[in-house]
Amino acid sequence: MRHAFAVEADGAVAPHTAERQRIEHILERIVKREMAGPAILFLESWKPLGAITGQSMHTLTPFVGVVMEPDAWEGLARYMEKRGAIPWMVQRLEELQSAAQPPTQP
């Protein structure tokens, strides 16, 4: 019973190596298209429903398979089920966005 209602601790959870490569690729594409702001807003709005987001992604697998590799989508869905996935993704998007911006001159 002790583990029946256990939840993961709050805070960012970095993905495993294989997951990280896939997620980094997606996040880099978002930053390259200058969509980091809307992506962060979207992720922050879904933060309270993070686990549900990951589970609902599994139902979309047959449809997304047309556009994206199904294994990559499933890996992303499994990662999104973790409680700290969204904070890590937001943090990483902000890092990539700040690295992509040219330095300002005085």
> What would the pLDDT profile of 67-106 be if each residue is shown by its tens digit?
878 888 888 888 888 888 889 999 999 999 999 887 666 6
Q: What is the mean pLDDT of residues 40-47?
A: 88
- Residue 9 falls inside a structural domain: no
Our count of domains for the chain comes to 1
- Residue 18 falls inside a structural domain: no
Angle between helix axes 36-46 and 85-100 (nearest 10 degrees) is 170
pLDDT at 68: 79
- Residue 90 falls inside a structural domain: yes
**Residue 101 and residue 98: Cα distance in Å, rounded?**
5
Give CA torsion, residues 81, 84, 86, 88, to 10 deg. -130
- Residue 70 falls inside a structural domain: yes
- Residue 59 falls inside a structural domain: yes
- Residue 73 falls inside a structural domain: yes
Q: Name the residue range of residue 66's domain.
A: 50-97
pTM: 0.75
